[in-house]
Structure 1
Amino acid sequence: MYFTVFIVQCCFFVYASLNPYIFKELEIDTLTMSSINSGVALLQVFTSPLIGRLGDRYGARNLLIISVISSVSGQMVAFLATGISMLLLSKLLFVAQDVKLGAQMLTSDLVDGKDRGPAMGRIMVPFSLGLLAGPLIAGQSAKYLGNQWTLLAMATWTSSCLGIILYSVPEKTSKNNSDKQDSGSQRKTEKSTWSLVTTGRIPVLLAIKILTATASMVVAQNLVVVNMKEFGLSPARGGMVLAANGLLGVVFNVSLGKLSKRFDDDVLFKWSPAFCLLSYAIMTQASSVWILLVSFLPWNLGNVIIDAQVVARLTKSVPSSDTGSIIGINAMAFQAARIVAPLLGGCLVEVFGFSALGLFGATISSLALGLSFTF
């Protein structure tokens, strides 16, 4: 499963890295490209819970297969694209590509109790490695193959995941063998899918997710601009800063299991927004890129714990027949933050400077910290 997540995400980030250049080659303006990207992101807000429900009905294995098919078809259409209509179709085909959702659902089916949080964190390791490797592979492959032929190569590589999934991912899980055998109970649960967000402590968990995701995405999606304007970094040095941030995410995701063994999950979860608060406070004083790099340490630690713990607690708060739906709703919260973040962060940087991002993040993290202490 981990290798599948890495391949699919790596190939997706190759696609994402080359996408602007393909738009430029086809003489499509930046405004049109941005409008398409925003529209697709908005669509994903509404499709994420539906994809999660498909996972509940047909299983995590089939959801992973759908993700791979979606990725391959999107890359193939982009390879064949000769105009804006085919590029738009390519983007739409990628809507169902959410391999992380399928991997989280499979993990919730197979892992119980205290081990679920660290297991959710381990999923993010191949995801983060794919994020790091994708742009590097894109740059090197495009030199020799060209942009669109690189996408064909990535589509071929991604398609190999179908064999991996069929061979290594079990068709039957504990979830399949218990709750899903009762079709009447399942239909009853499906009728109340949209009421899941009001069940127990789920509203508080989702609020923490939305707050922290918005704060982190405001920073993450404006780091390129900050590196260029605030610190005067070249693209190469700016890329090194982004890579360092990504590597820290990998390290903390790998270390999450050890942290969970040493500290109680409730303690980690309650104090995780405090790590984010500390990082944003450091960002407000970041007069050099080295201070920015220091701020990435608590920033990654806090966000890694929050992401893993929120998903683990959400899946424990619902019947196993609804885990796909609640993971989809969690993904919807992230997609909503992803839509708001670029514009909000851009306005803050343009009007008030980089320190405003830190101040905004510190304020949001304070609210999340207050909510986390209700657990």
Structure 2
Amino acid sequence: MERTGETSPEPSLPRRTQIIRATYLIAALDITWLFLQFSITPYLAKRLGFDTLWFGYLQTMVGVIQLLGGPMFGRFADLFGARAALSLSCVSSIVFFLLLAMVDTPLMLFVQKLPAVFMHILPGSQMVVADLTEPQHRADALAKLGICFGVGMITGSTLGGALTTHYGETVAACFAAAGSAVSLLLVMKFIPKSTKPQTPHPPPSSDFSGSTGADKNTKKSIFNLGEITRLMKFPGVARTFLVKIISGLPAGIFQVMFSIIAMNFFKLQPAQNGYLMAYFGIVQMIIQGGVIGRLTSRYSERTLLLLSIGIASLVGLAQAAMQDVFQFCFIVFPMMFSLSVFNVITDSLLTKSVPSSDTGTMLGLCASVQSLLRTVGPTLGGFLYENYGVSSFGFIQFGVNVCVFVYLLRHGSDHNHTHQHRD
């Protein structure tokens, strides 16, 4: 496979628009198959004799796999281009779902999760969008991927439930495999080999390892930790990345534990939980499709980052005080607003902070943050829930986000627009 990125002609504006629209469609389909799988795995695990503890181990394993795979996938995308990266993800999805259709033992269910190491369509789609949009429009374009997520969440959950109920897990898994094959065809048809602009390589001084451009073999390795971690050397990157992890941790724990909260605290039946998830999806589509774009055109990204963290702290207080699902429904809108704005703005800031040749690796690292939260979330969340109850999630979210908010206010002056650095 040849490295791409330097020789591809830059696409015209109509062509770029076509590629971005195709990318949105591919992302929506991938999220659909992902949520369809969420409707299969719990029932399959229960039928195979998994208890809550072992199902937690399974979820943690997926988190670890994707935590390790995210940066490698991003690096692969930067080296070999968007088409190769998205094709790899689609092929991994096909294998993943075909194995799911064949699972008949507990061990097989663990083995079936291994292809998830390269299932990163969403970061790959973010890379394409980031590469093909101007910096001032990037946050809005990335936010619109949230509409795809909402559509996929609603469609996949509904479709997965219907297929599993009427035809069984095997048919549902095969349907998802066929869907991933359709996604692969769309990638091959509409996504160019590379979406990188024609720009020179970063100067040798920015190389974390201190090596020069002479080491081609080292630079072409997707497993080169130095090439991945050197991105933290760019101005503002390490700070934004730490904010993304620290501020996102309490909300991540709440999300990981939400199925338990819905079942035990809210006393929801499966059908009611499905309606609540659909409500989440609709709210997210409204915010990311109709709100974030307007905000980014009027306010700076730093202002919006502060706003999202401030609202997240207030959401934490509301979560600590809530008593039932009806109160929670009122909290959902500010909660989804703060989460959506926070994720979009931090992703946008981080991709602007590094050369265009490294946007894939950076988005892979961003995806790994979510995987990290899914990895540590079940353990921390279970401990907090058992010992301190649901209110503890809200109090921790309030405390952490207030601290981050104050830190950014006090150290924000030198942070301003170092993120506009590009090749």
Structure 1 residues 189 and 364, CA gap change in structure 2 (3 angstroms): farther
Answer yes or no: is 1:248 the counterpart of 2:283. yes
- The 2-side partners of 1:21 and 1:238 are apart by 15
Q: Partner of 1:133: helix, strand, or coil?
A: helix
What is the TM-score normalised by the length of structure 2? 0.82
- The 1-side partners of 2:381 and 2:256 are apart by 8
Contact between 1:6 and 1:130, CA under 8 Å: does it hold in 2?
Answer: yes
Contact between 1:7 and 1:161, CA under 8 Å: does it hold in 2?
Answer: yes
Answer yes or no: is 1:44 the counterpart of 2:66. yes
Structure 2 gaps of 5+ residues are 1-22, 204-211, 221-225, 416-423
Out of 265, 275, 289, the position equivalent to 1:230 is 265
Deviation of the 1:150 alpha carbon: 1.1
Aligned residues: 374
- The 1-side partners of 2:255 and 2:202 are apart by 43
Answer yes or no: is 1:103 the counterpart of 2:125. yes
Q: Could you list the per-position Cα deviations for residues 226-257 of structure 1 after superposition, in whole angstroms to 9, with x for gaps in the alignment?
A: 23333333332233223222321221111211
Deviation of the 1:185 alpha carbon: 8.0
Q: Partner of 1:173: helix, strand, or coil?
A: coil
Q: Could you list the per-position Cα deviations for residues 68-118 of structure 1 after superposition, in whole angstroms to 9, with x for gaps in the alignment?
A: 111111101111223234322320012210111100111111112210111
Deviation of the 1:211 alpha carbon: 1.9
For residue 220 of structure 1, what is the aligned residue in structure 2? 255
Query: Normalized per residue, which structure has more helix?
Result: 1
For residue 299 of structure 2, what is the aligned residue in structure 1? 263
Deviation of the 1:41 alpha carbon: 1.4
**1:255-294 matched pairs, under 5 angstroms:** 255-294=291-330
Contact between 1:179 and 1:320, CA under 8 Å: does it hold in 2?
Answer: no
Answer yes or no: is 1:21 the counterpart of 2:56. no
Q: Could you list the per-position Cα deviations for residues 243-300 of structure 1 after superposition, in whole angstroms to 9, with x for gaps in the alignment?
A: 2223212211112111212333332122210111111111122123222122222111
Answer yes or no: is 1:204 the counterpart of 2:251. no
Contact between 1:60 and 1:106, CA under 8 Å: does it hold in 2?
Answer: yes
For residue 159 of structure 1, what is the aligned residue in structure 2? 181
Out of 199, 203, 217, the position equivalent to 1:178 is 199
> For residue 104 of structure 2, what is the amino acid of its counterpart?
T
What is the TM-score normalised by the length of structure 1? 0.92
Contact between 1:79 and 1:152, CA under 8 Å: does it hold in 2?
Answer: yes
Q: Partner of 2:113: helix, strand, or coil?
A: helix
Deviation of the 1:180 alpha carbon: 6.7
Structure 1 residues 30 and 298, CA gap change in structure 2 (3 angstroms): closer
> For residue 4 of structure 1, what is the amino acid of its counterpart?
I
Contact between 1:61 and 1:106, CA under 8 Å: does it hold in 2?
Answer: no
**Cα-Cα RMSD:** 2.3
Answer yes or no: is 1:68 the counterpart of 2:103. no
> For residue 34 of structure 1, what is the amino acid of its counterpart?
G
For residue 340 of structure 1, what is the aligned residue in structure 2? 376
Structure 1 residues 319 and 152, CA gap change in structure 2 (3 angstroms): same
Contact between 2:347 and 2:363, CA under 8 Å: does it hold in 1?
Answer: yes
- The 1-side partners of 2:284 and 2:392 are apart by 23
- The 2-side partners of 1:236 and 1:88 are apart by 28
- The 1-side partners of 2:357 and 2:214 are apart by 9
Q: Could you list the per-position Cα deviations for residues 205-225 of structure 1 after superposition, in whole angstroms to 9, with x for gaps in the alignment?
A: 111111232111211122232
Deviation of the 1:144 alpha carbon: 2.3
